[in-house]
Structure 1
Amino acid sequence: MSMSETSTQKTSCDPNIAAELREKRKRIISQSLAKRHRKEKTFRFLGLSAVIIGLSFVAILFGSILYKGLPSFWQMSMNLPVYFDPKVINVGPKPVKFATESPAKYQERYIDWQTKMGMLDWDSLIVKGMIARDARLAGHEDDLRSMYASTESYRIRDMVIADPSLVGKKEDIKFLAEANVDVWLTGKIDRSLPDDQQQLSHEVRQLADQLKQQGILERTFNFKIFTNTDSRSAPAASGLAGAFMGSLFMMLIVIFVAIPIGVASAIYLEEFAKKNILTDIVEVNINNLAAVPSIVFGLLGAAIFVGWMHLPLSAPLVGGLVLSLMTLPTVIITTRASLKAVPPSIRQAAQGLGASNVQTVCHHVLPLALPGILTGSIIGVAQALGETAPLLLIGMSAFVPSVPSTPLDQSTALPVQIYLWQGNELRNFFEGRTEAAIIVLLAMMLGLNGLAIWLRKKFEVRW
């Protein structure tokens, strides 16, 4: 008999030894379970910590943007009673076309009338409106002209050109304060700096403080940031209307170009294309294109759309086509992933009932994959909305003082406008204005992502 057999017999005969072995096994199992539980708790703690840290950084980012950006939607302004004095506006009534007059002759008279209107002293009407609020301001006319944005005089001129019946009437009109006045009154510049480092003269600064104390200059919500275009002559009147419309045109082009082509390409590759070396090469290149830096697409767009096809520079059409090229790989990859997620049994059941491949895809597979396709497409569009580098290479960083009416008009985009404002020399004023533009851009992106989530929930099918 061997020694192991002898030991086993002793163990089976001795109940104390058997009990000790059982206790030893229990301790080993308990220690192993405790170690596994500790590792699981540590792993869960690390995962939860990573999520909390990530959310904290996001909260800090959004909090910083909101803290700096939200106050920029409020701007120093003043409501003044403006009297459209006929003694100042003395160029006669708006020309009316005579029945026997040629269009060219009428246009000549109308342009001459507009020229005379432009040469009037419109600033005097605004200054008189300020003096009407406080008669003690008389004698400070030159300093009062520095209180409001320079474009405000052109605005009341355009009001009279559009409606000549205003002459002889008094209207309450809101005027934006000049950018340096806004910076001074909102504390965005150190008041202890010497005069040679201040943008405003000592007299103008004192007058601005006086107007604020009297309630003439007050902080109000600035709706013009949404309706005005960018301005170099009057930074206080600069707005996002042109950039917003440029981004809107580009996103429409991306939606109508990249999504149909991307979805159709994905359906063909996933459902109809034969699996061979050619399709493998196409798939590899699509995956590689998704990782190509966006600035490369900008170089491609500048070479093809601007250099070869001679499309207009700085046009939303070119920007939309460049962003469509960049979005295509994302749409194709997400659409193929959604098609793969549909169970094969759906296809087999449809084909078993006599449906063709096209009927199977269109009537059964595609409706089930629609939530994923919509989600991927909208996320791709949202990603394109925030791109800046490719737009800089096709000239969309140019200063455009008008709102584009078609995709062929020159324009800029929201990300590019943010880039331009961040580098503006009037940093104290445009730093907050940049954060405000970021808030508008993030609102659009969050809206698109929220739409993707809603569509996914709406069309989601469980099986």
Structure 2
Amino acid sequence: MSDATASGIASAAARSNRRDIGIKRRYAAERRFKAYGIIAIGIGLCFLAILLWSIISKGYTAFWQTEIRVPITFSEQILGTPEDALKSETKLMMANYPRIARDGLVKLLDIDPSNRKAVTAAGKLISSGTRVALRDIVLKDLSVIGTTQDVWLYASSELDSAMKGQYDLSVPENRRPISDQQLQFIAKLKADGAIAQRFNWGLFTFGASSRAETAGLGVAIIGSFYMMLIVLALALPIGVAASIYLEEFAPKNKFTDLIEVNINNLAAVPSIVFGLLGLAVFINWFGLPRSASLVGGLVLTLMTLPTIIIATRAALRAVPPSIRWAALGLGASKTQTVFHHVLPLAAPGILTGTIIGLAQALGETAPLLLIGMVAFVVNDPATPMDPATALPVQIYMWANEAERAFAERTSGAIIILLAFLAIMNLTAIFLRRRFERRW
């Protein structure tokens, strides 16, 4: 073999070796990149799991409320006779219902009524919100007056927290809210089967309250529902109409380019700016009432519009041009082409963008704080013009309370809000997969 041939073979072997090394390096780089991606996803999932665990572990107990079964004697001496009640409900409305509840618990625990210290300790085991519960029972059925009925009454927040293990009952008496005597009463109630943890429906139906055991999300849920209806009724048609015009009919010039830039910028504007806009325009200029669902819905509509417009334009742009050409070739007008062919095909993307926009609006807090939706509202709003609050605002208000039981309610409200957001996002995913067409 000549020297030239040997040199050529050696050179080819060297090139092949370098090529193999290069291929191995590329494969190694791809594996590292894949590993980085998996690690990043794993870290994100770990933080998400920690977040969910911290919320659920603290908030799942909010869905259960400690209640005491008390034999309540609806005494005519305190309430009056049913005949008197038919003439006037004033006495029934102003009756001393806490005394009726306390007397029933004293009788249940076999406490000497003359032992005022024991009577006071027993009375603190029951929520002061029992006034409303007993009053509603009497007003619903006047025939209970003069009878004795077993009624499940809410326990105080201290007793509820103690039953859920949120207090260390092994520490000295002066370092816990439950006294030794009250612990004896609790033990007797457990032995008699007169105390239990039942599902807390009040968390979904009650309004605002300074007592944790009678505080609920009823007003916030109704207020959020009204606001989402307003956002859906205004943002969807306005956003879709604006998107159709900009994408299908508007001429391409500097003016429409300016509009598109502004829409994209509005989607990135902090939500608190929309709250300032709503405060200046809807409340100070138009004179709409503060803390009303109508104002909240209008502010959230302004905030949601850019998201819906961008999503709708993307859905319209995703429809193949051949659909438009085929419709126009068959004699359809521009309007018929858009509304009979393009819009139905873009509907899944439009619905997905709308639901995502609604989910984003449902979780907003800052703009609602600026328009006064932090009011202490006890009664359910009958119309969007009535004072109300919203789920994220209620969470914010409870988080500022010092009582430990409100921390539990805060985590429980977060779980409910996350459940609503998850349902809305899952609905968007379902609609996209159910009606999506691939071209």
Moved more, 126-135 or 325-334: 126-135
Contact 1:91 1:116 in 2 (8 A): no
Task: Give secondary structure in 1 for the equivalent of 2:127.
Answer: coil
1:117 paired to 2:92: yes
- Residues of 2 paired with 1:22 and 1:294: CA distance? 65
Contact 2:207 2:218 in 1 (8 A): yes
- Residues of 2 paired with 1:194 and 1:299: CA distance? 51
- Residues of 2 paired with 1:206 and 1:80: CA distance? 17
2:421 to 445, 449, 454: 445
Tell me the equivalent position of 1:389: 366
- Residues of 2 paired with 1:368 and 1:120: CA distance? 64
Moved more, 55-64 or 197-206: 197-206
Q: CA deviation at 1:349?
A: 1.5
1:68 paired to 2:58: yes
- Residues of 1 paired with 2:191 and 2:22: CA distance? 75
2:235 to 258, 274, 292: 258
- Residues of 1 paired with 2:235 and 2:183: CA distance? 54
Task: Give secondary structure in 1 for the equivalent of 2:268.
Answer: coil
Tell me the equivalent position of 1:3: none
Contact 2:292 2:388 in 1 (8 A): yes
Moved more, 179-188 or 262-271: 179-188
2:263 to 286, 289, 299: 286
CA RMSD of aligned residues (A): 2.1
Tell me the equivalent position of 1:267: 244
Paired letter, 2:276? L
- Residues of 2 paired with 1:452 and 1:460: CA distance? 11
Task: Give secondary structure in 1 for the equivalent of 2:76.
Answer: coil
1:245 to 216, 222, 235: 222
Structure 2: gaps spanning 5 or more residues: none
Q: CA deviation at 1:71?
A: 1.4
Tell me the equivalent position of 1:362: 339
Tell me the equivalent position of 1:460: 436
Identity %: 47
Superposed CA deviations along residues 137-178 of structure 1, whole A, max 9, x for unmatched, are: 765332221111111123212221222112233333211111
- Residues of 2 paired with 1:438 and 1:94: CA distance? 46
Tell me the equivalent position of 1:141: 119
1:377 paired to 2:357: no
| Structure whose alpha-carbon radius of gyration is higher | 1
Q: CA deviation at 1:225?
A: 0.9
Contact 1:83 1:168 in 2 (8 A): yes
Q: CA deviation at 1:358?
A: 0.8
- Residues of 2 paired with 1:152 and 1:72: CA distance? 19
Would the alpha carbon gap of residues 457 and 315 (structure 1) be closer, same or farther in structure 2, given more than 3 Å must change? same
1:434 paired to 2:424: no
Q: CA deviation at 1:259?
A: 1.2
Paired letter, 1:56? C
Tell me the equivalent position of 2:254: 277
Would the alpha carbon gap of residues 137 and 367 (structure 1) be closer, same or farther in structure 2, given more than 3 Å must change? farther
Q: CA deviation at 1:278?
A: 0.6
1:186 paired to 2:176: no
Would the alpha carbon gap of residues 150 and 95 (structure 1) be closer, same or farther in structure 2, given more than 3 Å must change? closer
- Residues of 2 paired with 1:42 and 1:415: CA distance? 41
Tell me the equivalent position of 1:99: none
Superposed CA deviations along residues 160-201 of structure 1, whole A, max 9, x for unmatched, are: 122211223333321111112222333323446665554455
1:52 to 42, 46, 63: 42
Tell me the equivalent position of 1:314: 291
- Residues of 1 paired with 2:59 and 2:32: CA distance? 40
Tell me the equivalent position of 1:303: 280
Q: Equivalent residues in 2 for 1:331-350 (5 A)? A: 331-350=308-327
Tell me the equivalent position of 1:425: 402
Q: Equivalent residues in 2 for 1:200-211 (5 A)? A: 203-204=181-182, 206-208=184-186, 210-211=188-189
Contact 2:271 2:366 in 1 (8 A): yes
- Residues of 1 paired with 2:284 and 2:191: CA distance? 58
Paired letter, 2:57? Y
1:173 to 137, 140, 151: 151
Contact 2:299 2:367 in 1 (8 A): yes
1:39 paired to 2:57: no
1:353 paired to 2:330: yes
Alignment TM-score, normalising by the size of structure 1: 0.89
Q: CA deviation at 1:17?
A: 3.2
Q: CA deviation at 1:230?
A: 1.5
Q: Runs ≥4 in structure 1, deviation > 6 angstroms?
A: none
Paired letter, 2:129? T
Contact 1:94 1:164 in 2 (8 A): no
Task: Give secondary structure in 1 for the equivalent of 2:70.
Answer: strand
Structure 1: gaps spanning 5 or more residues: 1-8, 97-109
Tell me the equivalent position of 2:209: 231
Alignment TM-score, normalising by the size of structure 2: 0.93
Paired letter, 1:122? Y
- Residues of 2 paired with 1:93 and 1:50: CA distance? 73
Q: CA deviation at 1:205?
A: 5.0
May I ask how many residue pairs the two structures share in their alignment?
A: 435
- Residues of 2 paired with 1:191 and 1:130: CA distance? 22
1:22 paired to 2:12: yes
1:82 paired to 2:60: no
